[in-house]
Amino acid sequence: MENCIFCKIVAGEIPASKIYEDSEVIAFLDISQATKGHTLVVPKKHVRNVLEMSEEMASQLFSPIPKIARALKKVTSASGLNIINNNETIAGQTVFHAHIHLLPRYNKEDGLAIHFTEHDPNFEELGLLAGNIQKEIQA
Ligand code: 5GP
Ligand code: ZN
């Protein structure tokens, strides 16, 4: 797609620190390096995000992630790794060509803070919500 920064990286039109490539997927170091080794795993074919992905594309995109993650953790001597995917602006997506962030983790002060606010569960509401989502998946 025209003017898509990741399509340009896939096409080799702009440089990237590539760490993995197969027929459908490319992975390269994120320019921002939120933590050392911060990597993006990207489908070669342009798609906006996971919300627009086919099951086939999703399986191709996710299948090399375990081996990339293991290599990243080993080479950086990280203690763990977060996998993050942002879909749409409200969720923090800034590049509208799908990508999965792999973020090696070193310690609690390594610059990455992911915080889930917990709410008291209302089990009746949870049951209704789960039922509605199940129905939508089956529709
Ligand atoms: P998002 O916010 O859409 O989930 O993530 C987009 C990511 O792409 C950001 O972490 C940003 O640093 C990275 N990025 C943007 N432009 C480039 C680029 O030209 N090269 C590389 N390697 N990463 C980029
Ligand atoms: Zn693209």
Residue 2 pLDDT greater than 90, yes or no: no
Q: What CATH number is given for 5-138 in this structure?
A: 3.30.428.10
Q: Which ligand is nearest to the CA of 91?
A: 1
The pTM score is 0.97
Residue 132 pLDDT greater than 90, yes or no: yes
CB-based burial label for 110 (10 Å; 0-12, 13-18, 19+)? middle
The torsion of the CA quartet 9, 83, 139, 136, rounded to 10 degrees, works out to -130
Q: Which ligand is nearest to the CA of 7?
A: 2
Q: How far is the CA of 31 from the centre of ligand 1 (A)?
A: 6
Catalytic residue among 38, 97, 99, 101: 99
Cβ of 92 below 6 Å from ligand 1: yes
The 10s digit of each residue's pLDDT in 10-48 is 999 999 999 999 999 999 999 999 999 999 999 999 999
Task: State the pLDDT confidence band at 64, using cuts at 50, 70 and 90.
Answer: very high
At residue 1, the pLDDT reads 84
Q: How far is the CA of 29 from the centre of ligand 2 (A)?
A: 17
The 10s digit of each residue's pLDDT in 94-120 is 999 999 999 999 999 999 999 999 999
Minimum-distance ligand 1 atom for the alpha carbon of 101: 4
> What ranges do the domains of the chain cover?
5-138
